[in-house]
Amino acid sequence: MVSEVQKYRAQFFQVLGFSFMTPIGKIVLDAIDMEQSDLTFKLLIYTGVALILASLGIILNLKGMEVLEERE
């Protein structure tokens, strides 16, 4: 049985994980309008940071699922 505290912790980690994954969505949506000439060093740095944050978001989402699987 999952307690209310475990549900709260799981939702906290999942929401935090999704918030870390939002920059990668911005890149995907902006890439549709981007031309090859607009590809700059700043965009590459932003993409790298967004990928790192997305990875952290995925880890936090998995942590949220792990909290639900714990049994007391």
Each residue's pLDDT tens digit, 13-41: 888 888 877 777 777 777 666 666 566 77
**Which pLDDT value is given to residue 60?**
83
* Nearest-angstrom CA–CA distance, 67 and 15: 14
Q: Global pTM?
A: 0.62
What's residue 65's pLDDT? Answer: 78
What residue type is assigned to position 12 of the chain? F
| pLDDT surpasses 50 at 72 | no
